Chains A and B, each alone.
Chain A
Amino acid sequence: MDIGGTLVKLVYFEPKDITAEEEQEEVESLKSIRRYLTSHTAYGKTGIRDVHLELSDLILWGRKGNLHFIRFPTHELPAFLLMGRDKHFSSLHTTLCATGGGAFKYEDDFRTMANLQLLKLDELDCLIKGVMYIYSVVSSGPPECYYFEHPTDPERCEQKAYNLEDPYPLLLVNIGSGVSILAVYSKDNYKRVTGTSLGGGTFLGLCCLLTGCSTFEEALAMATEGESTCVDKLVRDIYGGDYERFGLPGWAVASSFGNMICKEKRDSVSKEDLARATLVTITNNIGSITRMCALNENIERVVFVGNFLRVNTLSMKLLSYALDYWSKGQLKALFLRHEGYFGAVGALLELPNPS
């Protein structure tokens, strides 16, 4: 489990090679849990199993099985714990590996509410382990690592597979509620370069306040419909065109939300425009900080992960564009299909050999 500020990410390994003998020995509660998890794709109102990400026929601890990816909002954690109590998780005598801030914040709740002991793990350690593991086990199906070719040309921009065989050095940007930027030099040599509080939580938080929406999906749908150029003040709005002396193109944003200082423009703007402007502002800012870190660390490859990017092609293309344009093609933005689940995967790998 990876318990973040907004979402809990749960990774579940379902052995498929269970012998009849084993099945007989299995406690009832385990069977019931397995049935519950694998037979549903939604849990309660907010829990979701990302079926498209499921990895089948994986070998873990000598067992063959499927890896399932499940998420639910962190504020539903108490409900999850109650369910765990009702389904007698604790009778499994297994360790629950947990990472993310919630592993620390809710440790007591796990014990008192569900009688569960947590094995707490560092989230950045788990993140890197998870990335490397998933990349190494995905061999068929859609490529795990990809990038956008021709990011500055909307006509020709398309998704392409990227070979991450030799990954180091690497800048790993994890965009969750907030953002962490790591420089990874080898399997176990990395440092957190910096972070920013302007992340996915900021996008959603501002969208909720500005548009009255309440979910990430809603916010993203609105952003897709909207137009940010009426909200933002562009270079051409100030200079009539490019600001040549400083090599600033007219289309560049000079001031995010800069047009909103004017009442008439505030009154004429739509919710969709505001959602779009929020997305563009947050995304470009992450791109800008990332680019500076890449320069300071002298790293050319950047991998973006985290749930902010889930179903968010808009931001991925923006990041690809920004990195390519401002670095004059020096930097490459890479993305991973299992974007938000690496922390949880890394935690799972720490599970003491269950056999």
Chain B
Amino acid sequence: MALSSGADRGSHSMDKSITLPPDEIFRNLENAKRFAIDIGGSLTKLAYYSTVQHKVAKVRSFDHSAKETEGDPLYEISVQEEITARLHFIKFENAYIETCLDFIKDHLVNTETKVIKATGGGAHKFKDLIEKKLKLKVDKEDEMTCLIKGCNFVLKNIPHEAFVYAKHADSEFRFQNTHPDIFPYLLINIGSGVSIVKVEAEDKFERIGGSSIGGGTFWGLGALLTKTKRFDELLQLASKGQHTNVDMLVKDIYGGAYGSLGLTGDLIASSFGKSATTDKEFSKEDMAKSLLHMISNDIGQLACLYAKLHNLTRVYFGGFFIRGHPVTMHTITYSINFFTKGEVQALFLRHEGYLGAIGAFLKGAEEDNPNQYSWGENYAGSSGLMSVSPELNPVQRARSGTFDMLEMDRLERQLVNLPLLQDPTSYIPDTVDLTEDVLAREYWLYCFEEALDGVVKRAIASQKDQPKAVERAEKFRQKYRHKLQTLRHQPFAYGSLTVRSLLDTREHCLNEFNFPDPYSKIKQKENDMALKYYLKVVKSVEELSWEQRQFTLVKGLLAGNVFDWGAKAVSDVLESDPEFGFEQAKLQLQERPWLVDAYNQWIERLKGPPHKCALFFVDNSGIDIILGVFPFIRELLIRGTEVVLASNSGPALNDVTNSELQILTERIAAMDPVIHTALKEDRLALVQNGSSSPCLDLSRLDKVLATVVRERGTDLVIIEGMGRAIHTNYYAMLSCESLKLAVIKNSWLAERLGGKIFSVVFKYEVPSNIREIKS
């Protein structure tokens, strides 16, 4: 994202010499509407709404009643254009405003837009320029209202938006889960002064206090004391200083700690106290550090006093004083910790800089009612959080002259918690946090980089006849490789790094270059093939005794799960030996006792009364769903248990999508009266999970699914596959019985769990309260 000419960052004059790579920064401008702009002291944030036309893979069933010839595919795949809504947010230095406005003017096609919402201290300064350049009327919005609206929006829609900062921990950023209920909270906005705002509901907030000692004090007083003009330079000075040379500490007065009050010797008794009693010269660094401590402590103390008075524990910090600066995040965190004895944690936001622009945009877009939708961060189009710590990342430090972007996609459905989560507030989907687990991070980043060639090859193969497939695939490769490199240096860029986020980023990048479903044809072929064996499998199972049958069904489920293009070890075998069959897969499986083996408990349970309703999160297409899942749920249906099959809303790897599953189920029903009847009697239902990920976040599921689960009195949840049951949800606690099963098709992961490749995890869990009722 380099700027083509050397922009003089030192000057604050308008810089017209830069040319912007159009499709990389102000993307989708041709359809853009509803502009909003937030002009702060040094940074401008532009927001707009746009529609993105992109390709989606659709499947459509052939009319089989007319004729059916051997060799005809089961369904047809077509790639269609679909239009989805996307929000764009771009952040750049004020020096580029004029260039950016010119660029927008030249590329804006849509003429419906008549006004631009504006907020921030600089809005009035640039009003005339904006009106002249864009021919849009500037409509000013209250700064605080925008800030709060923006804050509510990111807290609700972006998982891992908030984080706790820990300077000396393995990972600086500890991300927080999105809570379903974000209110009430306290927002401490540290601009030139400090505003303390209590937010109780979407439109209910109050400025309960503030302080004049804020970022402007640090900057102004700092400039006087050190003759250093720039805010960033002052922070850099501070990060190198020793405050103990300037401050009077408790030990300077007491000789040690003030024990009876629990005040340690290192505590600051009087800020700048030493400069009052000694005549010596003080270094700029030391004074800057002392000033930073003084201001951070003071703000932290006030924040705690207000939090206590209003009985609030969630306290978010924002404003230019914070804006990703590790030094200020550290001192504020320290101060909050000290004053509340750890009871309150200082929380920071990944997209803190965008809040005003998001809020102004939302004010202007009220008629589109963006709050009625769920939105998701697009990892392909967003820059991610940058560490601005000079010692951590000298390269990024010099990045201040570039552009930062956030893109959010409107999701087709509203996402909610699975009602069966035992404690939604403590639920963490991901099993391993790669931001903290360095070894795992290195392994998986390597793994995804290694797999990249194969993914590119597959993407091209899926669109042999499409224009520029090779070129697009190459762009995809570059983009995803770049993301992986970024994540190697800044694993916290998009919240906690997880196997799920790596997979999702890949899907987003594939979509970005119009590869909506690289596996569509493979899935089609495999589904076709597996269907031919369905009756044979069902029949052979029916001949077995009850005990034998249960074991065969579970083994079938596991063997089916071996067929997974998502796992590299398997995709190698599948690609080199297409005859690798169902029976062979069974032979590959680990013998019992499995790595995690609760099979006996499961069988005991099956001897009891049937479950009311089972919710099954399915995994792969082909053998997995047809020869593994269907025979298994068929048995459940026969037992008298209702079954809900939850599949992905959109494609991801070779996972079966909801529309594919519809067709498959119809075809199976046509062969199998058990399935046919169950469908007809509505004892078998198909729902989509709202996701397009190979993993599963039980806190962001389609609202319809949640309703179905509740209405049917679901008392058993089955989660299948590595992505959904190992990488995510392995430790998820549900309020009903659950079965998590997968075959570990990755030797590194198997080894980590204490087993070998093709080890079996068969985890059957009953929550303690249910266990008690039964006994």
Contacts and interface: CB of A to CB of B under 8 A. Distances in A.
B221 A257 contact: yes
B311 to A, nearest CB: 11
A104 B256 contact: yes
Contact of B271 (A198, A207, A284): A198
A257, A260, A288 — most chain B CB neighbours (10 Å): A257
B253 A5 contact: yes
Nearest to A237: B192
A214 interface: yes
Given A209-B287, A258-B217, A232 B269 contact: no
B339 to A, nearest CB: 7
B136 interface: no
Interface in A176-200: 176-178, 192, 194, 196-200
A218 to B, nearest CB: 12
Given A260-B220, A261-B219, A209 B225 contact: yes
With a 10 A CB-CB cut-off, give which of B211, B212, B213, B217 has the most chain A CB atoms. B212
B294 A198 contact: yes
A340 interface: no
A101 interface: yes
Contact of B254 (A73, A104, A197, A248): A104
Contacts of A248: 210
Nearest to A192: B261
B767 interface: no
Contacts of A104: 254-256
Contacts of A124: 261
B214 A296 contact: no
B635 interface: no
B277 A73 contact: yes
B144 interface: yes
A208 B248 CA distance: 15
A67 B209 CA distance: 44
B207 interface: yes
A104 B258 CA distance: 9
A184 B78 CA distance: 79
B270 A5 contact: yes
Contacts of B271: 197-198, 201-202, 205
A124 B263 CA distance: 13
B455 to A, nearest CB: 50
A289 B302 contact: yes
A197 B263 CA distance: 12
Interface in B753-772: none
Contact of A281 (B213, B215, B261, B279): B213
**Interface residues of A toward B: which range?**
35 or more
B336 to A, nearest CB: 13
B216 A258 contact: yes
Nearest to A269: B224
B272 interface: yes
A206 B302 CA distance: 22
A288 B302 CA distance: 8
B224 A266 contact: yes
A75 interface: yes
B229 interface: yes
Nearest to B225: A209
A137 interface: no
A284 B211 CA distance: 9
Interface in A282-317: 284-285, 288-289, 292-293, 295-296
B276 A201 contact: yes
Interface residues of B, number: 60
A255 B192 contact: yes
A62 to B, nearest CB: 32
A199 B298 CA distance: 12
A208 B275 contact: yes
Contacts of B273: 5-6, 177-178, 197, 201-202, 205
B192 A205 contact: no
Contacts of B587: none
Nearest to A210: B224
Contact of A255 (B216, B248, B305): B216
Contacts of B246: 205
Given A255-B212, A256-B217, A202 B260 contact: no
- Of the candidates A73, A232, A285, A293, the one having the most CB atoms from chain B within 10 angstroms of its own CB is A285
A210 B275 CA distance: 11
Interface in A149-205: 176-178, 192, 194, 196-202, 204-205
Interface string A69-110: 000011100000000000000000000000011101110000
Contacts of B225: 209-210
Contacts of A296: 305, 308-309
Contacts of A192: 261
Contacts of A258: 192-193, 212, 216-217, 220
Interface string B419-455: 0000000000000000000000000000000000000
A73 B256 CA distance: 20
B306 interface: yes
A214 B278 CA distance: 9
A75 B144 CA distance: 49
B583 to A, nearest CB: 73
B282 A209 contact: yes
A343 interface: no
B255 A105 contact: yes
Nearest to A124: B261
A122 interface: yes
Contacts of A74: 277
A284 B255 contact: no
B272 A206 contact: yes
A257 B220 contact: yes
B309 A281 contact: no
Contacts of B191: 255
Given A197-B297, A260-B221, A206 B275 contact: yes
Contacts of B211: 285, 288
Contact of B223 (A177, A194, A207, A261): A261
A289 B301 contact: yes
Contacts of B298: 196, 198, 285
B121 interface: yes
A199 B294 CA distance: 11
- Max chain A CB contacts within 10 Å: which of B121, B191, B209, B277? B277
Contact of B217 (A5, A105, A255, A263): A255
A274 B270 contact: no
Given A266-B223, A292-B306, A177 B339 contact: no
A256 B216 contact: yes
Contacts of A254: 192-193, 212, 216
Interface in A238-293: 238, 245-246, 248, 252-261, 263, 266, 274, 281, 284-285, 288-289, 292-293
A238 B121 contact: yes
A233 interface: yes
A3 B684 CA distance: 83
Contacts of B270: 5-6, 176-178, 197, 199-202, 205
A245 B212 CA distance: 18
B221 A5 contact: no
Contacts of A208: 275-276
A9 to B, nearest CB: 14
B530 to A, nearest CB: 64
A4 interface: yes
Interface of B: 121, 142, 144, 191-193, 195, 207, 209-217, 219-221, 223-225, 229, 231, 246-248, 250, 252-256, 258, 260-261, 268-277, 279, 282, 287, 294, 297-298, 301-302, 305-306, 308-309, 339
A-B pairs, 10 with minimum CB distance: A260-B220, A205-B272, A101-B253, A105-B255, A201-B270, A255-B216, A258-B216, A201-B273, A257-B220, A255-B192
7 contacts: A177-B270, A255-B215, A258-B192, A260-B219, A261-B223, A263-B229, A292-B302
Given A122-B260, A177-B248, A257-B220, 11 more contacts: A5-B248, A105-B256, A197-B271, A197-B273, A201-B277, A209-B275, A255-B212, A260-B224, A266-B224, A285-B298, A295-B309
